[in-house]
Amino acid sequence: MTVHPSTPQFFLTAPSACPYLPGQLERKVFTHLLGGRAPDLLDLLTQGGFRRSQNIAYRPACERCRACVSVRILVDEFEPTKSMQRVARNNRDLVGRMMPAQSTSEQYSLFRRYLDARHVHGGMSEMSVLDYAMMVEESQVDTRVIEYRRKGPDSAITPRGDRDLMAVALTDVMGDGLSMVYSFFEPSEPERSLGTFMILDHIERARSLGLPYLYLGYWVRGSRKMGYKIRFQPQEHLAPRGWERYVPDEG
């Protein structure tokens, strides 16, 4: 029988090139999420700015940079902007279904199209179908997959009436919120703004579950690829003294 230590052990990675800010080096502190205490540990660590990847929780521990800031949306106070309302209207033909965290070949095909179109040189670009399955299914916490499909003629009756898979989100359900672990979408329809649409849908899902927060991971000031997260207001940022309401810069 495998016995897991009651107190988590933390480790520090070696420096490597930062994927968000040129010329910077990143380091991470991480621990393993194992055993029956994994869900409670993830809740605690997420409140402290950690993120999950499979059975590892990590957070930045860079020596000369503090640009990565943990972000969570205040679900009950959130109101979509006019542009976000347009995104919602443009995707009224989609339906999202939350299901157990199981991978499929259809998901992987969409995942590959997304990476090849938007992140061809990224760290995940070489992931095989087995790597993808491990990303989705290796979790000892309450993890779900949400599939977004075009509505079919029988969508209101049975999921089998749904059509093309357009987007996928890998999401953790925690004690105080939902955490978007990873998401990807059909790259050939950029006018849909599917990334924004999935965040809006997750806000509504958290609200319907009575959960106060949607955790979006890290916002990196100065990184264009992370700039979208700041648009969802109001939100809190994790500061040295704890979570604080973010006040956007004027102008």
Domains along the chain?
A: 11-66 (no CATH), 72-245 (3.40.630.30)
CB count, 10 Å around CB of 18?
Answer: 19
| Cβ burial, residue 38 (10 Å; 0-12/13-18/19+) | buried
- Mind listing the pLDDT tens digit for each residue in 158-188? 555 568 999 999 999 999 999 999 999 999 9
Higher pLDDT, 222 or 65: 65
Residue 20 clears pLDDT 90, i.e. is over it: no
Q: How confident is the prediction for the chain on average, in pLDDT?
A: 91
Token pair of 86 as six digits = 């347009």
- Mind listing the pLDDT tens digit for each residue in 32-64? 999 999 999 999 999 999 999 999 999 999 988
**Rounded CA separation 230/226 (Å):** 8
Look at residue 251 in the predicted model and tell me its pLDDT. Answer: 44
Nearest to 50 by CA among 238, 212, 245: 238
What band does 152 get if pLDDT is binned at 50, 70 and 90? confident
- Mind listing the pLDDT tens digit for each residue in 83-129? 999 999 999 999 999 999 999 999 999 999 999 998 766 667 788 99
**Rounded CA separation 68/141 (Å):** 24
